[in-house]
Every structure is written in C-alpha cells, then in structure tokens.
Structure 1
Amino acid sequence: MDMQLPDGIQVLERGWLSSNHIVFHDPELPTVVDTGYGSERAQTLALIQAALQGQPLQRIINTHLHSDHAGGNAVLKAHYPACQIIIPPGLQDAVTVWDEARLSYTATGQHCERFLHDAVLTVPGTLRLGAHDWQVLPAAGHDHDMVMLWCEALGILISADALWEKGFGIIFSELVGEPGFGRQQATLALIAQLSPKLVIPGHGAPFTEVDAALQTANSRIQWLMDDPKRNADNAIKALLAFKLMAHQRLSLADITQLIQQSQIFNTVMKAHYPDDPARLGEVFAQQLVKVGAALRDGDDLVLKS
C-alpha cells in the first residue's frame, strides 16, 4: 500500500473468520466500523482496548449484519455500556426480535451473540467519522442491505465485502433464486465512478490498486454469470471453510447436518446438486482437502495450519 492512512484512522486487519475493524480516533466520539466474529470476541475486545488506549468506545457502525462483521457487537457493548450500535436499514426489525433465520445465522450455521441496536443508518446519507464527513452508500450484491462508507475529501472508501483486492463476497441472493449478479455489477460501477485513491476492504489489507481490483471483480462476476453453479460451488466451500476455521475440526456428519439445516439447500441448489446432503458433504470435503484448506483424519476434516 503506497498511500498512508491519515491520522485518526486505524485499520485492525483480521483474517477471514473476523472482518477488519476500522477505528476512528476521535476525542469525543471514538468509533469502530465492524466487529468481527463471535468466537474471536475476546481478541476483538483486546484489540479495540489496545487501539483506544484507555479511551471508552462510543459508537459501533456495522456495514452489514453478517456474523463475521457484527459478532463482536455484544461483547463491546457489555464492556462499553454507553456505546451506541448503529446498523444499516433493512433488518432492524429482525434485530429487534432476534430472528436468526432472517439475519442469515441459521442458514449459514454461524453464531452471533444477540445485541440491540440504538440507531439505523440513513442510506444515502452522511456520517461524521473523526475529522471528516463520510457518505453512506448502498452496496447491494453480496448483501442487499450492505453499505459502503465514502470520504471524498480523503479519497478513501470503506468497501465492506463489495470489493476486496482479489474479488468480493459471495452473492447469496442468487442461491435463493433472487437477482444478485446485476446488483453486484452496479455496486462495482459505483465504486469505479467514485474513483477512490484507497480502499479499506472488509477482509484483507487496504489497497491503492483500485482499477486492477475492479477489473478482477468485474471479470469474476461475469465468470459467475456465465455459469451460476460456480457461485453455488463457491458458497458451499466458503461456508464449510468458515465453519472449519471456527471449530478447527468437522466430521462428515457435521458437514451433512450443516447442508441439511441450511436454507441454501433449496430448490435452486437442488437443481445444481441432485445428490443427497451426505453425498454432497463428501464431495465438498474432498474439494477442501484438494485445495489445501483441510486435512482428512478418518471421517473428520481438520483445519490445515
């Protein structure tokens, strides 16, 4: 990364289990954008405490509510009771009643500790983060309720999972028969129009080679559109890999159960995969081993260190 982050903005880069945390050091309103996955909440709290150096966190902003971006909300709120949690519009009712199906946690077999939100972002709207105004922009595709944060004065875009240096998040809506590829293309077009100097993604290091990243992402979305089964393949492998990272070891029975309970195993998915869930689990277990993401130990998959 050639461009340095301005004073007052700190990126705490995590792995693929937890999203990055973007900390805004503000003497009056210290803020973090996105809070990682629940099983890593102790590390999330420790990282935020170290970053703030004794200053209390006052605000959490979620770009979207997937478990790897909102899983630390509850622990941070418990430690900083005055902290406000602000979420994107669209699923605020589901958060209020804690509907884990609508929030995607049931379908993905992932856990997110319950939290209550204090406010909802306005999209499009403007948000003061640190010393600058940031635009809150829609970022449909990976998650149709997701937002990006754009600071024109700094030329910095917080892209969440709309754009990574080498791709973007799974297009989940296509797995349930709803349009998503075109909406992802529109989000990429919006990013190109903004022409950011620096992108802070939801996963991976901040990057300045934005044109190259957009070219990669546009090529990938076209590749997925050419054969939607590729998106389904990616989704199942990613969900299994995520579960494996969270638990370190999965049995074939665990994998079969995840596929059975998951809402992604529906009519759309069955058209791609006529095999029963047990057979499908075995196929994808073999694929994770083949790509080097896991090792086989009898009927178990073990995370490759």
Structure 2
Amino acid sequence: MSPHAHPHPLPRWATWQQKPFPDANLLLLHGRQPALIDSGFVAHADTTAAWARAHAGHIDLVVNTHWHCDHVGGNALLQAGGAGIAAGAPEAEALTRRDPGCCAAEYLDQPVAPYTVDMSLDDGQTLRLGEADWQVIPTPGHTPGHLALWQPDERMLVVGDALSDYDVGWVNLALDGPDAATTALASLKRLAGLAPRVLLPSHGPIPADTEAAFTTALRRAQRLVDDPAGAVWYGARRIFAFALMIRDGMPTGEVEPYLHARAWLTDAARLLDRTPETLAAELIDTMLRNGAIVLREGRLYAAAPHTPVRPESLRVPYPRAWPAATPPR
C-alpha cells in the first residue's frame, strides 16, 4: 500500500501492507538497519520475504508483536537470510527454553516453523528500527508477551492484535487465567493514553479516526471483562474460523471429530460447563446461523476473506520437537 493511500500518511521511511487472513499486516521500516514488524503466516513466508527484499533489499531485524502463527510465520525464512528476531521478554524466554507451549502452536493446532529469538524486549526499551527510535510497550492480554511499539516523533503506534478497526484481540481465560481480559483492558487504556496520530493494527485497515477506534475497542474489551462466558465463546469462534481458513475448509463429517480432539475446545467446554461434544455442536450451529462459517458442497468454510494456503505448508513440527535454541541478548 502506498504511504498516501490512507487517511494518515506514513513517513517516507515506512511501508505498510494490509494483508487478509491468515496473515497479519506488515510494516517495513527503511534505513541502514531495515526492520520488519511481524512476518505473516508460514504458508506465505516466501511472498513476505520477497516483498521485504523488493522494498528494502534486506531485513536486519524482525520484531514480533506476539508469537501467534499469523505473526511469526516468516521468521524462520527471514532468519535463515540473516535477519535477527526480537520478541517480548516472556515469549523470548519461553522460546529459548523451547517450552512445549510456545506460540500456542500445538494448543491451537496452528503451524509455526522453528525459529529462535535473538533479542528480548522489555518495557521502556528503545529500538532503532530503520531511521527512527521506537519505544517498546508491553501490552499483555491477547498473549502474556504481547507488545506495542511507539514512535513518539511521528506519533505512530503499532498495536498488534490489541485492537483493530473492527475488533479487539480474543483472550484465553483457560491458559492465561481469569484476569486475562482485565489485563487486556488495562493494556488498551495504556495505549489510548498515548493519543497516537496513526494507529497500525495487525489486522484490517488503518483506522481513519484513532480516538473513535480506541473508544470502540475499550467498550468491547470491557464487555469481555464483564462477560467471561462471552469471552470464551469469542475466542472459540475466532480459533475455529482460523482453523477452517488455513485448511481450505473441512468436510462436514470431519469437523466435529477435529474439534473434539482440540485442547482449546476442551478447555472452553470446561469453562462453559459443557461437554466438548456439546460445545462443538453448538459452536458449529451458532457460526452457521450468524454467517461466520458457510456450508458448500459438503464442506464448512470460514466466511471472512482469506488467502489460500498450500496444505504442505502446514507440515511443520510442534515446538516440543524444535531444535535447541541459544539465549537471546
């Protein structure tokens, strides 16, 4: 996307690319040390790397807002080409230890190619990315290690999945505890207090009205705090839709057995006081009725726009089988 194709022009040293699911948007920061914020989904790593090379020649550093598969999928390929990888401290430490739960890849059944973290990022740290200094702001909630990046001169704020023009990040009350929604709300309030000129989310367009985007996001985040059951449902819908996107749908006869085998669904069922079988059936029925998924020729598909995925790209090992890593600096 051209820097002038949206209501808030970006400086000449920043190139933005809005991408449909299953990828996250990309922000390329030009200069003597070109940097990329997030790296998309593993199936499109070649495309991401080619786009970055075409615009910057090479990438010195990839900064991940968090470790979900749609944000770290190009890490391995870019790292093999010489880029360093930076991530929030909690996730950097877990990745270095090679915790089996890294990236929630196995838990969510979302593929991530093995990578290592070269730089651990903490609150208040300043990073030179491209031609500008950016401040690291931890924004836990969507994941414990989620972070935002703030460029005070241009008043640009990279928010990851904390919010978008139409949504807020789902929270995992099972993995991250009952206060995860409250934590996410506090992170949003911290970001809103910066009053940015430009808000750069990981999904969807750049909001035309940043103040209105925060107002709406804070209301949605408060709803997740006030309605824990609703927060669990919200996460389940998002995870299931993503599973359908990356698999080009699923035959109807395979959907319920697939869901019954998922740890995230078992946890959601426990929190909602249902059996996994009951929740799976309710989830499918609810999403069909509200149009979030559609039935075509015996397959269920996610209704939201998304880019096709090659099946072979999903065949990467879970983090428990990744090779050992060296500690980040």
Q: Is the pair's TM-score, using the shorter chain for normalization, greater than 0.5? A: yes
Residue identity in the other structure for 1:287? T
Compare 285-294 and 133-142 and name the one that shifted more: 285-294
1:124-158 CA distance string (max 9 Å, x none)? 21111222211101101111211100011101100
Map 1:70-109 to 2 at 5 A. 70-78=72-80, 80=81, 82-109=82-109
Q: Which residue matches 2:185?
A: 185
1:76 shift after superposition: 1.8
For the 8 Å contact 1:174–1:180, the answer to whether it is kept is: no
| Match status 1:293 vs 2:292 | yes
Matching residue of 2:327: none
Question: What displacement does 1:8 show?
Answer: 0.8
Indicate yes or no: 2:34 matched with 1:34.
Answer: no
Shift of 1:178: 3.3
| Runs of 4+ that moved beyond 6 A | none
Write the deviation string for residues 137-187 of structure 1: whole angstroms up to 9, x where unpaired: 110111121110001110110011112112211012466533112212211
Q: What's the counterpart of residue 311 of structure 2?
A: none
Q: How many residues are treated as equivalent by the alignment?
A: 298
In 2: Cα distance, 1:225 partner to 1:122 partner: 26
Report what 2:21 is aligned to: 16
Paired residues for 1:1-305 under 5 Å? 1-26=6-31, 28-52=32-56, 55-78=57-80, 80=81, 82-173=82-173, 177-251=177-251, 252-263=253-264, 265-266=266-267, 269-275=269-275, 277-297=276-296, 300-304=299-303
Which segment is superposed worse, 85-94 or 198-207? 85-94
CA separation of 1:34/1:250 partners in 2, compared to 1, >3 Å: closer, same or farther?
same
| Separation in 2, partners of 1:298, 1:217 | 37
Measured after TM superposition, the shift of residue 212 of structure 1 is 0.7
**Cα deviation, residue 273, structure 1:** 4.2
**Which one has more relative contact order, counting CA pairs under 8 Å at least 6 apart?**
2
Q: Distance in 2 between matches of 1:125 and 1:93?
A: 16
Native 8 Å contact 2:22 2:242 kept in 1 = yes
Note if contact 2:37-2:65 (Cα within 8 Å) is conserved in structure 1.
yes
Task: Return the alpha-carbon distance in structure 1 between the equivalents of residues 65 and 196 of structure 2.
Answer: 18
Give the conservation status (yes or no) of the 8 Å contact 1:109–1:258: no
SS of 1:195's partner is: coil
Moved more, 221-230 or 16-25: 221-230
| Maintained 8 Å contact 2:95/2:102 | no
SS state at 1:86 partner: strand
Q: How much does 1:35 deviate?
A: 0.4
Secondary structure in structure 1 of the residue aligned to 2:261:
helix
- Provide closer, same or farther for how the CA distance between residues 271 and 34 of structure 1 changes in structure 2, counting only shifts above 3 A: closer
> Normalising by structure 1, what TM-score?
0.90
Paired amino acid for 1:237: R
Please give the alpha-carbon distance, in whole angstroms, between the structure 2 residues aligned to 1:65 and 1:186: 20
Q: Which amino acid aligns with 2:240?
A: L
Identity between Structure 1 and Structure 2 (%): 26
What's the secondary structure of 1:241's corresponding residue? helix
SS of 2:89 mapped into structure 1: coil
C-alpha contact 1:273 1:280 (8 A) present in aligned 2? no
Once the two structures are TM-superposed, the CA of residue 254 in structure 1 deviates from its matched residue by: 4.1
Conservation of the 8 A alpha-carbon contact between 2:142 and 2:162: yes
Q: Distance in 1 between matches of 2:201 and 2:242?
A: 18
The AA in structure 2 aligned to 1:46 is: A
- Residue by residue over 1:243-270, the C-alpha shift from the partner in whole angstroms, topping out at 9 and shown as x without a partner, is 111011224534433443324523x641
> TM-score under structure 2 normalisation?
0.84
Q: Cα 1:193–1:176, aligned 2, differ >3 Å: closer, same or farther? A: closer
Gaps of 5+ in 1: none
Deviations 1:87-119 (A, max 9, x none): 110122432343342431111110100011212
Query: Match for 1:120: what amino acid?
Result: S
Contact 1:240–1:255 (CA under 8 A) maintained in structure 2: no
In structure 1, give the amino acid aligned to 2:15. Q
Residue pair 1:143, 1:173 contacting (<8 A) in 2 also: no
Q: Is the contact between residue 174 and residue 181 of structure 1 (CA under 8 Å) also seen in structure 2?
A: no
SS at match of 1:134: strand
Over 3 Å counting, the alpha-carbon distance change for 1:120 and 1:264 in structure 2 is farther
8 Å contact kept, 1:294–1:303: yes
Conserved? CA contact 1:162–1:184, under 8 Å: yes
Gaps of 5+ in 2: 1-5, 306-329
